[in-house]
Amino acid sequence: MAGVEKFVEADNAEAIITRIEHKSRKIESLLKQNKPVEALKTALEGSPPMTRDERCKSANWIVVHRALMAIKDVDGMFSSLDPEYYDILMKYLYRGLSTGDRPTCDQCLRIHEKLTERAGLGCILRSLADTVNTV
């Protein structure tokens, strides 16, 4: 039985990877149309926190990272980003900060400051306290 479950999980992971690839193409085209916020929303949507599969998490992080780095006007982004995205965005900001990559950290800190102003310390706590649905 365990083998079957593993197969299902692997199959599921393949499906998620395919979806992320599809998402990636959509984001590229949104970025070409100069719609970075739409691209970020697309990246954050359907991110796979529930899966244990690290490959899926990494693949989605690459997509989110691409959209995140394309944000130039942080205030402008927040004027069109709905609050429902705040918690998941915060999780990805901490993932970005954990990379230690200079430009990524710079960008994440810039967004982090504005996000904390809007979503409060509660948002930080929700992203740090949740050890089950990690990104």
Residues near other proteins, by CB under 8 A: 87, 116-123, 125-126, 129-133
Compute how many other C-beta atoms are within 10 angstroms of the C-beta atom of residue 33.
Answer: 10
The residue (of 14 and 130) whose beta carbon lies closer to other proteins is: 130
**How does DSSP assign 38-106, residue by residue?**
HHHHHHHTT--SS---HHHHHHHHHHHHHHHHT---HHHHHHHS-GGGHHHHHHHHHHHHHH--HHHHH
The residue (of 51 and 116) whose beta carbon lies closer to other proteins is: 116
The residue (of 59 and 119) whose beta carbon lies closer to other proteins is: 119
* Shortest distance (Å) from residue 24 CB to other proteins: 29
The residue (of 59 and 115) whose beta carbon lies closer to other proteins is: 115
* Shortest distance (Å) from residue 133 CB to other proteins: 7
* Shortest distance (Å) from residue 69 CB to other proteins: 24
